[in-house]
Amino acid sequence: MSSNSVNEGTMSFARQLHDLRMRNRLSLQDVASAVGISKAHVWNLEKGLSEKPSIDLVVKLADLFRVRVADLVGENPAADTEAPEMVAMFRDLKQLGEGDRQTIRVLMEELKRRRNDRA
C-alpha cells in the first residue's frame, strides 16, 4: 500500500467487489438479495463510501463470489495484483522469528502513527 492513501485498503475492497460483481454479471440487486443487504449498501461498498463492513458480510460476499476473504479485501500477499516487492517482503517476514516479527509490528505501528499525524 502506498503511504499517500489512507483509504487504499477500503478502495481495494470496493474495486474488487465491483470487479467481481461485473465479472459474474450480477446486478446490485442480485448481490444485495444474495447477502441480505440493500442495493444501496452494495453501491456504497463499491464506491468506498461504506467503511468497515462486518466480517459476516465480507464472508457472505466471499462465499457468493467463491473467493477467499483475503482476496476480496486485498490482503492476499500471493495475489497476482500484488507488487513483487510486497510478495518478497511477506516471504521474508514469514521466515523471521516471533521476536523479530514483534519488532517489525512496533515499527509498522510507529510508521502508521506518523502517517496519520501528517494527515
What CATH number was assigned to the domain covering residues 1-76?
Answer: 1.10.260.40
Average pLDDT over residues 95-110: 92
Instruction: Report the C-alpha gap between 4 and 11 in whole angstroms.
Output: 13
Q: In angstroms, how far is the first alpha carbon of the chain from the final one?
A: 16
Instruction: Report the C-alpha gap between 115 and 43 in whole angstroms.
Output: 29
- Give the tens place of pLDDT for each residue, 16-74: 999 999 999 999 999 999 999 999 999 999 998 987 889 999 999 999 998 888 888 87
| pTM of the predicted model as reported, rounded to 2 decimal places | 0.61
The residue among 15 and 88 whose pLDDT is bigger is: 15
Round the average pLDDT of the chain to a whole number and report it: 84
Phi, psi of 24 (to 5 degrees): -90, 5
**DSSP-derived secondary structure for 42-86:** HHHHHHT-S-S--HHHHHHHHHHHT--HHHHTT--TTSTTS-HHH
